A and B are shown apart, each in its own frame.
Chain A
Amino acid sequence: MALQERGSFRAEIFRRKPVTAPDEGGHGGLARTIGTFRLTMFGIGATVGTGVFFVMHEAVPAAGPAVIIAFVIAGIAAGLSALCYAEMASAVPVSGSTYSYAYATMGEIIAMVVAACLLLEYGVSTAAVAVGWSGYLNELLNNLVGWRFPDALSNSFAVEGGFINLPAVLLVALCAFLLIRGASESATINAIMVVIKIGVLLLFAAVAFTAFDSNNFADFAPMGAAGVTAAAGTIFFTFIGLDAVSTAGDEVKDPQRTMPKAIIGALVAVIALYVLVAVAALGTQPWTAFSDPEQGEAGLSRILENVTGTTWPGTVLAAGAVISIFSVTLVVMYGQTRILFAMGRDGMLPKAFSRVNPKTQTPVTNTVVVAVVVGLAAAFVPLDELWDLVSIGTLIAFIAVSIGVIVLRRTRPDLPRGFRVPGYPVTPVLSVLICGYVLSGLHWTTYLWFLLWLAIVMAFYLLWGRRNSALATGESAEERTE
């Protein structure tokens, strides 16, 4: 097959990876055992903590109190995409990232576009989360021991008085170390993290409501609809992780019933929590106060301190944030290494990315490269520059999945699907439209950066990946028939 296709450039860049059942069974004993509750916990665990602790400082100045609407819109976009994602995951039995689904259904070059998006969704968000974590760590240290990392060591040089964000680098290094050692997070730890996260956010809401002033909502949408759209674009990253529910398809009991219940359950829980936090936060101070640079670091803790005049509620919240954001960083960084791993196996990246160290049985080189790149971004790029890139990458990946569902229904109606998206074709079309709408709110500079990044990835693909693809060398076909 490879020989026939080699002649045609078009056939080459649109070649698809054959879908085969994965070689290794086992799944760590999880086969078809996951019920609605556990699946919902996956969704909440992966979602809460990626951004809600830092997003108010970025999003409220864009939309005013109407940021609440932006939360709901972004959440619905993520929820619809997650449903599409679930059908894709159940139809394409390959190890689950959007990259692999795209490779199996839409061809190599689309898979590379998706991969470029995923590097933003995972890699850049790891960096951004680490930067946000550093703010809460400083707050916690300051309140507990009266010492904090000096400004020069806890901010990027793009911020006045800053040079390097050392705590963020240390977090990334720690996660890399754990991943190299083969550490993983269990369902129990995830459940504990969910409890911690929900607990501190409810604490925040409870304390903040004591200072609730409805006058703060008087000017509800000072920036109009455009402001809401812009805020939704920024906020979107706080819903990343909802797709974690979808990837568990193979192991879910009765996926056709369980999957939508869990996705919608997690979505409702997360939106409710975010809206509660947003309303509580907005009630404490005029919306213009959110842009105060003082709230750019450990924003929610600062609000609590302003409200109560004491430090302990802010300290408790900071402690919860430090613990739970650490776990999110570990999980997201893990995702990044495994996506690059799959690309290395496919020949889309140098083989070094898929080398497994015989001693640790983990992809050590891959993990180190990820840690260095993410660490550099976390050290020297300020938070607000990173978030919009995360959102654009994720939105485009989600749109690709939604389109992929439609493509796959037409091209491969025969494939067995453990889960079919309810309300087809309205759901995937609506998912594309809402994601497109949220996308439209992002600033043009974000598009520029994104296009630049995409151009680099495409150039790499056309010059290197296209020739080294496992499908081109025929290596994969042999390996798979073994």
Chain B
Amino acid sequence: MTVLVGFRPGESSADALALGAVLARSSGQPLALAAVVPQAWPAPSMARIDAEYVGWSAEHAAAALEEAKGRIEPDVEVSCHRVAGRSVSSAVLELARSLGVSIIVLGSAPETALGRITVGSAANQLAHSSEVPLALATRGFGGADHGSGGARVSRVTCAFAGTPDSAVVVREAAALAGRLGADLRVLTVGLRNPPMIPPEVGLDAEDEVLAQWREQMAVAQKQVLADLDVPAEAQISVGDDLHAALVSAGWAETEVLALGSSAPGPLARVFLGSRATKFVKHSPVPVVLLPLHS
């Protein structure tokens, strides 16, 4: 099994590379770098001008791969692949199938705010079609802390919504944590509702609802942890909005947030639900989207 990092030559790939290296090191797997170049026209053109372009793009990709490889610490085994495809997602997916990779890693779009994730078009398409987990690096993950020094994933935090679907995600996340040799934390995130105004039954009526929700979630967490055969920490975090709630959960140095689809279908595919989409957008750490085998 292999960790596959996909990128387009010429675009910043530092974050995805750093995350890929951390994942590869943690799981003891080799790292495959895939530079995706545009596909050549199937029929040769009259002046063979296309071949010239293909030649250039191959050189360009080779240089980018060389540069990328140079950034990976020597303790990780690296292989380089140049793949041609009409889109990053289809090319990466094809390579992933032929290599038999365990996880695909992509970076965030260049315009993303530091420390956040945006789901670019490639990530979006992969999220809808990948049969293996998809990891998305936060912007700036490749900064000094994570890119070097033999960093490993210290903890996998799994978002748990207290629903039966969500329990499936926890099991998948536990397996991921096992593969990465990381600790497991089950995190349930809630939002603090603003009071209804005018306050017919007091401005703190929602506190009671929140307290009840906490109790229910604590019970649900206990149940889901009892079903696992590995030890895990459980935490409930509440905030005025999703980002604040996620941030206040507290995050280890090299931690990832594992999310699953909210409605597992008959196919084992990563498919982003509306809830998962929000979590990705507000996560302060890299995210791993887990395909659910229902």
Answer whether A356 and B200 are a contact pair too, CB < 8 Å, given A26-B207, A96-B205: no
Query: By the criterion CB–CB under 8 Å, are A341 and B192 in contact?
Result: no
Query: Who on chain B is nearest to A249 by CB?
Result: B202
Answer whether A45 and B202 are a contact pair too, CB < 8 Å, given A28-B192, A363-B209: no
Tell me if A409 is interfacial: C-beta within 8 Å of chain B. Answer: no
Tell me if A354 is interfacial: C-beta within 8 Å of chain B. Answer: yes
9 pairs of A and B residues whose beta carbons are closest in the complex: A96-B202, A335-B200, A358-B162, A46-B198, A24-B207, A42-B198, A247-B202, A244-B198, A356-B213
Q: Chain B nearest CB: distance from A333 CB in Å? A: 9
A interface footprint on B44-85 (CB within 8 Å = 1, 0 otherwise): 000000000000000000000000000000000000000000
CB<8 Å pairs between A and B, sample of 25 = A22-B208, A28-B192, A28-B193, A30-B195, A41-B198, A46-B200, A89-B202, A95-B207, A96-B199, A184-B193, A184-B197, A185-B198, A186-B197, A247-B201, A331-B198, A334-B196, A334-B201, A335-B200, A342-B208, A354-B212, A355-B216, A358-B213, A359-B163, A361-B193, A361-B209
Query: Who on chain A is nearest to B163 by CB?
Result: A358
Give chain A residues whose Cβ lies under 8 Å from the Cβ of B191: 182, 361
Query: By the criterion CB–CB under 8 Å, are A338 and B208 in contact?
Result: yes
Q: How far is the CA of A23 from the CA of B212 in the complex (A)?
A: 11
> For window 181-232 of chain B, which residues contact chain A by CB distance below 8 Å?
190-213, 215-217, 220
Query: By the criterion CB–CB under 8 Å, are B203 and A250 in contact?
Result: yes
Q: Chain A nearest CB: distance from B276 CB in Å? A: 13
Give chain A residues whose Cβ lies under 8 Å from the Cβ of B201: 95-97, 247, 334-335, 338-339
Q: How far is the CA of A354 from the CA of B213 in the complex (A)?
A: 9
Contact-residue size bin, chain B (C-beta under 8 Å from the other chain): 20 to 34
Query: Who on chain B is nearest to A191 by CB?
Result: B197
Of the candidates B195, B197, B203, B220, which one forms a contact with A45 in the assembled complex, judged by CB atoms under 8 Å apart?
B197
Query: Who on chain B is nearest to A41 by CB?
Result: B198
Tell me if B161 is interfacial: C-beta within 8 Å of chain A. Answer: yes
Q: Chain A nearest CB: distance from B3 CB in Å? A: 33
Query: By the criterion CB–CB under 8 Å, are A43 and B192 in contact?
Result: no
A interface footprint on B221-250 (CB within 8 Å = 1, 0 otherwise): 000000000000000000010000000000
- Which residues of A are in contact with B by a Cβ distance under 8 Å? 22-24, 26-30, 41-43, 45-46, 89, 95-97, 122, 182, 184-187, 189-190, 241, 243-244, 247-248, 250-251, 331-332, 334-335, 338-339, 341-342, 345, 354-356, 358-359, 361-363, 479
Give chain B residues whose Cβ lies under 8 Å from the Cβ of A248: 199, 202-203
Give chain B residues whose Cβ lies under 8 Å from the Cβ of A184: 193-197
Give chain B residues whose Cβ lies under 8 Å from the Cβ of A243: 200
Give chain A residues whose Cβ lies under 8 Å from the Cβ of B212: 341, 345, 354-356, 363
Max chain A C-beta neighbours (<10 A), residue from B192, B195, B209, B240: B209
Query: By the criterion CB–CB under 8 Å, are A244 and B207 in contact?
Result: no
Query: By the criterion CB–CB under 8 Å, are A96 and B204 in contact?
Result: yes
Query: By the criterion CB–CB under 8 Å, are B193 and A182 in contact?
Result: yes
Of the candidates A26, A244, A479, which one forms a contact with B199 in the assembled complex, judged by CB atoms under 8 Å apart?
A244
Give chain A residues whose Cβ lies under 8 Å from the Cβ of B197: 42, 45, 184-187, 189-190, 331
Give chain B residues whose Cβ lies under 8 Å from the Cβ of A29: 240
Give chain A residues whose Cβ lies under 8 Å from the Cβ of B193: 28, 182, 184, 361-362
Query: By the criterion CB–CB under 8 Å, are B200 and A22 in contact?
Result: no
Give chain B residues whose Cβ lies under 8 Å from the Cβ of A89: 202
Give chain B residues whose Cβ lies under 8 Å from the Cβ of A182: 191, 193
Give chain A residues whose Cβ lies under 8 Å from the Cβ of B206: 28
Q: How far is the CA of A481 from the CA of B162 in the complex (A)?
A: 24
Q: How far is the CA of A184 from the CA of B191 in the complex (A)?
A: 13
Query: By the criterion CB–CB under 8 Å, are B208 and A95 in contact?
Result: yes
Query: By the criterion CB–CB under 8 Å, are A251 and B203 in contact?
Result: yes
Q: How far is the CA of A300 from the CA of B203 in the complex (A)?
A: 33
Answer whether A247 and B192 are a contact pair too, CB < 8 Å, given A24-B207, A95-B204: no
Query: By the criterion CB–CB under 8 Å, are B204 and A185 in contact?
Result: no
Give chain A residues whose Cβ lies under 8 Å from the Cβ of B198: 41-43, 45-46, 185, 190, 241, 244, 331
Answer whether A95 and B195 are a contact pair too, CB < 8 Å, given A334-B200, A356-B212: no
Query: By the criterion CB–CB under 8 Å, are B203 and A356 in contact?
Result: no
Give chain A residues whose Cβ lies under 8 Å from the Cβ of B162: 358
Query: By the criterion CB–CB under 8 Å, are A362 and B204 in contact?
Result: no
Query: Who on chain A is nearest to B239 by CB?
Result: A26
Give chain A residues whose Cβ lies under 8 Å from the Cβ of B194: 28, 184, 186
Query: Who on chain B is nearest to A186 by CB?
Result: B197
Give chain A residues whose Cβ lies under 8 Å from the Cβ of B275: 359
Q: A23-B207, A27-B195, A89-B202 are in contact. List 19 more A-B contacts (CB 8 A).
A: A22-B207, A24-B192, A26-B207, A27-B203, A95-B207, A95-B208, A182-B193, A241-B200, A247-B201, A248-B199, A248-B202, A334-B200, A335-B196, A338-B201, A355-B212, A358-B161, A358-B163, A358-B220, A361-B210
